[in-house]
Structure 1
Amino acid sequence: MRKPGPAHSRALRTFVLIKVKDLKTYPIPARNRLEPRGESPVLALLRNRNYALLYFGQFCSAIGDQLYGIALFWLAFRLTGSSTAMALVGAAQYIPYLLFGLVGGVLADRFDRRRLMIATDLARMLAAALVPALHVLGILQAWHLGAVAMIQSSAAAFFMPARSALMVAVLPERDYQRGAAAFSATIRTARILGPLLGSFLFARISLEYFFLLDAAAFLVSMLTTAAIRLQAEGNARFPGQSGVGSLLDGLRRIGANRNLASCLIGNGVGMVAWTGLYSIGMVLVAEERIGGGEVTYSMLVTAYGVGNVLANLVVGNLPVRNRTAWIFGGWLPFALGYLVLGFTTDLRMGLAAVAFAAIGGPVMDLEARASPTRWGRSGP
């Protein structure tokens, strides 16, 4: 057999060089490359500096929110001994979401999201700090709690759409769903850590100083949000109609779409029920049926957080095909879980009931994650 001569060797080297140049010119698509194994998806997301800042700041803020939620209703109950007073505080907390929910989405489209978040965090921080200040002065009353709740919720109605829209700006499109799932899991984890911290603090500090910790958490949120750096187009105002025109357009869309209108009405009714049962009902169950007061309440809220986190891990990445079914499937365990809680006097049964009720939140979250480009908007 004839051996290859110098001419053959030169031809082979030339062929190889051409192919190497071809590979440089036409790189392998990113979707076909092998990703490094063994790295946590959350750690991969946290390599994004802006996302990491948002993630950490909102995690601290969520723990503060839990301490605030525990203290708000228990303090109203301790000051008055009245479930009616708690209900009025709950109404003051919920009504701003109804009044400003759509407006908040419009503003998130048209104003600098970071500045909007910082401004609303500042308002909430000052409102939270007002409670311990009034306590020190010896003039704190239940209606002050209602006023603080209204300020906090009004600011939150503008903050949450801005935060959702900012998350879209800090994440590449391919990471939207994974980033939203990780963020949701973190917020729900705060529902475990916040009540646990509350249980530790109950015997050590007065309920009024829980609000001071909440104010400190808002300060952390403000600082981390201020540290986020975006390109100009990532935080630009949304072009097109005026804010009023966009709001009216959103209302027309709702009126023209019976399914959307039904979902919004149902969600509004459901949120009223959630506020009453989660915030007020569990206080009364812990105090009057199961017994144990604040400690039992903290255990119930912690169980709710555990149910949230476990459900989020199971359903977090499932595909969404029938949105109506997912929404209905979210409210069903909530209704059944709280129905059982209302009739039980056993702590273990109560913990199991609220953990089951908590499945509903992550299930309904799937619908929102399915349309990340609409986060923060007032329309469908």
Structure 2
Amino acid sequence: MSTGSGADSAPAPTTPKQSMFSSLRNRNYRLFASGQVISNTGTWMQRIAQDWLVLSLTGSASAVGVTIALQFLPMLLFGLYGGVLADRLPKRPLLLATQSAMGLTGLALAALTLSGHVEVWHVYATAFVGGLVTVVDNPARQTFVAEMVGPDEIRNAVSLNSANFQSARLVGPAVAGVLITAVGSGAAFLLNGLSFLAPIAGLLMMRTSELHKVERAPRGKGQLREGLRYVAGRPELIWPIVLVGFIGTFGFNFPIWLSAFTDDVFHEGAGTYGLLNTLMAAGSLAGALLAARRGTSRLRLLVGAALLFGVLEAVTAFAPTFWLFAALMVPIGMFGLTVNVTANSSVQMATDPAMRGRVMALFMMVFTGGTPLGAPLLGWITDTYGARIGFAAGGVISAVAAAGVGALLLRVGGLRPKVDLRRGREHFRLVPSERSRPRQPAPAT
């Protein structure tokens, strides 16, 4: 090590400037992202083909709802246990196992469908098994990001993961539609199963020496309760998780609302339903790319985006024309994705590495696990009172939850909003509340 005087004048090492795609400078993350975009496309293909197959076998929309519920039910029931395993086990081998299992479920369903022996209970079973695998795969995948890119790039990598997923959402359903029409659902299942070869190859090709070392939780009793106590004692974790729980349960029931608007309000067909989903996916992709450019993940951004998301849903519910309704799908997708990415990255960055798997499992459990609870309720409101009331109800609940969480965070932080409309001034900022200001000592008499 040099000890000469020149060392004192040597320039300090500089951190590369963060850009929209800065995480892709990391070779391991490039391999991961490349594999994920292929498997995510396959996953979206399977989702569309699976719902279509169930509808073809049963003629029942309720059966499609059962399939979706079975996919998310394991996360609701066992999500926290998946987080314990993600904290305890090495994540790269764990992901090799989960990605292989998910590929095998797709290939099994493909074999049953292409051979002509598929029955609806086969689809139910594979959906449930896939949900069980996701219980472990999801927190392992979320937290493995930190090992690939390090703490300085977590937010950017989380944003690019979301952009990756939304890009696949633009392509996968379109490809699935062509395949189903041309050769049937079995081909989509087959391609989905084979698509998992890409992330498996990427994981095998990674340079393990370049992974950031993360402390793993030792095997022991009470780790599930330890994770819950850890979150409960930290407002910077518990309130973002509560907020995404409300948004995920009540604000993200778009299959119910968009199908109802397409059929009952605008009296259009499947092509229009696909167009609305595509516009929302485009907005989500734009939101993910914008999030990737931001240098921080502030809770005020999370609350503001959630509030705008809920208000936009409530306003869009009463859009008088189809094209206005369709155009509003883009900002709804953008703000919805901003909520997801900002909450995800802020929670990860505020969590100790040894607890990250359990915390992210809780995050995903409340965000996606609420679907089996919220979807039937919002579906009943939509069926009983109409698509506009159902959509507006989800938006109002989301907006009220955002306003409530925002007020609680201000109270915990001892802050209050201040609006100043004068020219040249910052129009909106947070300042210490009167109660949080230190009292001046009384003048001596």
TM-score normalised per structure 2:
0.68
User: Would you say 1:95 and 2:70 are equivalent positions?
Assistant: no
8 Å contact from structure 1 (residues 286, 297) kept in 2: yes
Q: CA deviation at 1:274?
A: 5.7
User: Would you say 1:308 and 2:298 are equivalent positions?
Assistant: no
Q: Which residue of 2 aligns with 1:190?
A: 168
C-alpha separation in 1, matches of 2:303 and 2:182: 41
Give the RMSD, CA atoms, in angstroms. 3.4
Q: Which residue of 1 aligns with 2:299?
A: 322
Instruction: Call closer, same or farther: CA 1:138–1:288 in 2, change over 3 Å.
Output: farther
C-alpha separation in 1, matches of 2:137 and 2:307: 25
User: Would you say 1:141 and 2:119 are equivalent positions?
Assistant: yes
Q: Which residue of 1 aligns with 2:373?
A: none
User: Would you say 1:114 and 2:92 are equivalent positions?
Assistant: yes
Q: Which amino acid in structure 2 is aligned with residue 247 of structure 1?
A: L
Q: Deviations over 1:303-337 (max 9, x none)?
A: 121010222333441644436x7257337525743
User: Would you say 1:251 and 2:228 are equivalent positions?
Assistant: yes
Q: Which residue of 2 aligns with 1:86?
A: 64
8 Å contact from structure 1 (residues 315, 363) kept in 2: no
Q: Which amino acid in structure 2 is aligned with residue 354 of structure 1?
A: M
User: Secondary structure of 1:193's match?
Assistant: helix
Q: Which residue of 2 aligns with 1:27?
A: 10
Q: CA deviation at 1:79?
A: 2.2
Q: Which residue of 1 aligns with 2:425?
A: none
Q: Which amino acid in structure 2 is aligned with residue 205 of structure 1?
A: V
Structure richer in helix, relative to its length? 1
Q: Deviations over 1:117-167 (max 9, x none)?
A: 111111111111222221233232223222221111221221121112221
C-alpha separation in 1, matches of 2:8 and 2:89: 42
User: Would you say 1:352 and 2:332 are equivalent positions?
Assistant: no
C-alpha separation in 2, matches of 1:207 and 1:263: 39
Q: Deviations over 1:81-127 (max 9, x none)?
A: 21211111121011111122212222111111111111111111111
The runs of 5 or more residues in structure 2 that have no matched partner are 361-445
Instruction: Call closer, same or farther: CA 1:129–1:280 in 2, change over 3 Å.
Output: farther
Greater Rg by CA: 1
Instruction: Call closer, same or farther: CA 1:124–1:328 in 2, change over 3 Å.
Output: farther
Q: CA deviation at 1:286?
A: 4.6
8 Å contact from structure 2 (residues 86, 358) kept in 1: no
User: Secondary structure of 1:127's match?
Assistant: helix
Percent pairwise identity: 25
8 Å contact from structure 1 (residues 304, 357) kept in 2: yes
The runs of 5 or more residues in structure 1 that have no matched partner are 1-20
C-alpha separation in 1, matches of 2:276 and 2:68: 19
Residue of 35, 42, 45 corresponding to 2:23: 45
C-alpha separation in 2, matches of 1:216 and 1:338: 41
Q: Which amino acid in structure 2 is aligned with residue 352 of structure 1?
A: A
Instruction: Call closer, same or farther: CA 1:67–1:265 in 2, change over 3 Å.
Output: same
**How many residue pairs align between the two structures?**
351
Q: CA deviation at 1:201?
A: 3.5
Q: Deviations over 1:271-320 (max 9, x none)?
A: 34466x23454445556655665433332222121010222333441644
Instruction: Call closer, same or farther: CA 1:265–1:319 in 2, change over 3 Å.
Output: closer
The range that moved more, 199-208 or 146-155, is: 199-208
Instruction: Call closer, same or farther: CA 1:274–1:371 in 2, change over 3 Å.
Output: closer
Residue of 345, 350, 357 corresponding to 1:369: 345
